[in-house]
Amino acid sequence: MKAEDKFIIELLMQNTDFGNNEKLSATLDWDYIIHHCTQHKLLPVLYNRIKNVLRVPQHIVRILDNEYKIRKHIYSKQRDEYLCLLNELSKAGLKIILLKGVYLAEKCYNDPLERPYLDMDILIQKHETEDVFRVMKSLGYVQGEYNKETHAIEKLDNNRLIGYESELQHYGEFVKLSSSDFFPVYSVDVHHRLSTVFDSFCYNSSLLFQRAEKENIQGINFWRLSNEDFLLHLSSHLYWHTLSLRDIISGRDMRLLSYFDIALFISKNKINWEKLFEYAKESGLENALYYTLYHCQLIFGNIVPNDIYKTWDMQKVKAISNTIYDRWFTRDTLTPVGKWNSDFMERLFDENRKNEALLSFYNDYINKVLFSGAYFKVIDVSAEDRFEEE
């Protein structure tokens, strides 16, 4: 592993003193560090760790300072908007579970700006759908997409809305113009479940709501998943983005920010590990949990209690780590389409891993199917993924 790679990982470690860090030398390739921190969504983290360190080139600090100021503007506007929405939903007496980014930024990060997010994700009860939609529409939200050319929101047609609801974990995106020069719209994903019809796992939403815990931000009330369900959802969401060649090509399959989320959440919350693995088994999420926790262990160390970790079948865990899937091609998440020949830590910063994945896909899957006499419908895996979320 290169010195720059080790440095980026050290950014995520608690109590690292970069002011006295001997590895912070003038020989570091800062272009490489900036590039990979951008890929891994870690620029605000990098800025906070090195902004007062004299040995860092000052032009690098200025670049990061400008980026941080833009992020601060975006965060301020997003936070106000999303908290306003949460408040209106709460006042309407609706039981809303806040998921992922917004919650993590406010509750797990010392500086919320270190946890950028594109949208807000909420989980609702199906019988409250109409009431949730009514509140959102009263605040100016529309189920649609932003048109970059016309700078307007185009409503999703009925077929798209039906497709979202029947196949995906959330309804068609709710968006609202932002009036900001730095981001065009506020976006909210309203989930009615936490898995798609293509996934091998399935959450019991009723149990999630039964186990949910009350929370608040600045006096605004909402609910969040229990510690075990929250950790399981973070794991499944991270794993979800590895089950697609499209995400591998874009680099979304291996973002350090997602692993940092998990490490911070574990450090700030008491986890019942027995319950966690019990819930994973019930939901078909054992592979997702092993995948994420094993990789967290490799990155951070001491994430999983040793009495739990030593019981794992490491041959099975490593097989999970090295298997490639593609839900959009096979229409499921159980059929392997390839395998990694490099270990996780080797491919973490390797931008050629997409070529390794595509080559394995061709050799280990396409060729075998062709020789069996089957045929394929050609799809464009490089096209923008309309199901992207953060």
Q: Are 344 and 321 spatial neighbours (Cβ–Cβ below 8 Å)?
A: yes
pLDDT digits 0-9 by tens, 134-165:
999 999 999 999 999 999 999 999 999 999 99
User: How does residue 384 score in pLDDT terms, banded at 50, 70 and 90?
Assistant: very low
On the question of pLDDT at 57 being above 50, the answer is yes
Q: Which of 173-187, 256-270, 304-318, 355-369 has the lowest mean pLDDT?
A: 355-369
User: How does residue 386 score in pLDDT terms, banded at 50, 70 and 90?
Assistant: very low
In 125-207, beta strands by DSSP E: 142-147, 152-155, 174-177, 185-191
User: How does residue 248 score in pLDDT terms, banded at 50, 70 and 90?
Assistant: very high
Model pLDDT, residue 388 = 46
Model pLDDT, residue 200 = 84
Model pLDDT, residue 202 = 87
Average pLDDT over every residue of 89-100:
96
- The Cα-based distances of 194 to 122, 294, 373 in angstroms read 10, 22, 37
**Distance, C-alpha 32 to centroid of its chain:** 23
Closest CA to 46 of 101, 118, 119, 116: 116
Q: Which of 71-85, 99-113, 179-193, 355-369 has the lowest mean pLDDT?
A: 355-369
- The Cα-based distances of 28 to 33, 43, 52, 60, 326 in angstroms read 8, 16, 17, 12, 37
Model pLDDT, residue 285 = 95
Model pLDDT, residue 24 = 64
> Cα–Cα distance between 72 and 78 in angstroms, integer?
10
Adjacent-strand bridge partners of 213: 224
Residue with tokens 């097989």: 319
On the question of pLDDT at 373 being above 80, the answer is no
> Cα–Cα distance between 386 and 390 in angstroms, integer?
12
Model pLDDT, residue 54 = 75
Average pLDDT of the chain to the nearest whole number: 90
Query: How many C-beta atoms surround the C-beta of residue 93 within 10 A?
Result: 8
pLDDT digits 0-9 by tens, 320-350:
999 999 988 888 888 999 999 999 999 999 9
> Cα–Cα distance between 276 and 289 in angstroms, integer?
9
On the question of pLDDT at 381 being above 70, the answer is no
Using DSSP's 3-state secondary structure scheme, residue 221 falls into: strand
